[in-house]
Amino acid sequence: KAGVTQTPRYLIKTRGQQVTLSCSPISGHRSVSWYQQTPGQGLQFLFEYFSETQRNKGNFPGRFSGRQFSNSRSEMNVSTLELGDSALYLCASSRRPGTGENTGELFFGEGSRLTVL
């Protein structure tokens, strides 16, 4: 069974540009979450999608956006990149969203490492 696939694995952008990251969840998983990981801030929750709807959102500016497609694949976009956006962006999938009935763990991809120059 294939794991969570994130593309690209590495990318370099300059300030002001935009970037789109892609995440393909494990087959059968319909919930996708995105996290930003930096040495100083640790793991910060960006948003979670289920059935093409954003179910929860973290405290990030509007430059960070995402979407989910009917096949559960998800993309996140960061516009007008800043130096502080340099980070490892992690995608995680699970069968269902974070309701009280969902006891399942998150399955993470390898991440997309973004460097902003």
Partner 1 sequence: AQSVAQPEDQVNVAEGNPLTVKCTYSVSGNPYLFWYVQYPNRGLQFLLKYITGDNLVKGSYGFEAEFNKSQTSFHLKKPSALVSDSALYFCAVRDTAGGYQKVTFGTGTKLQVIP
Contact pick of 13, 20, 79, 108 for partner 1 (by CB under 8 A): 108
Burial 70-85 (b: 16+ CB within 10 A, else e): eebbbbbebeebeeeb
As a whole number of angstroms, the distance between CA 30 and CA 55 comes to 12
Residue 3 or 79: the one with the smaller Cβ distance to partner 1 is 3
Residue 36 CA to chain centroid, in angstroms? Answer: 8
> How many CA atoms does the CB half-sphere of 104 hold within 13 Å?
15
Site map (CB under 8 A) of partner 1, residues 60-89, x = contact: ------------------------------
Give yes or no for residue 106 binding partner 1 (CB under 8 A): yes
Give the footprint of partner 1 on this chain (CB under 8 A): 4, 6, 33, 35, 42-43, 45, 48, 55-56, 58, 90, 92, 97-100, 102-103, 105-111, 113
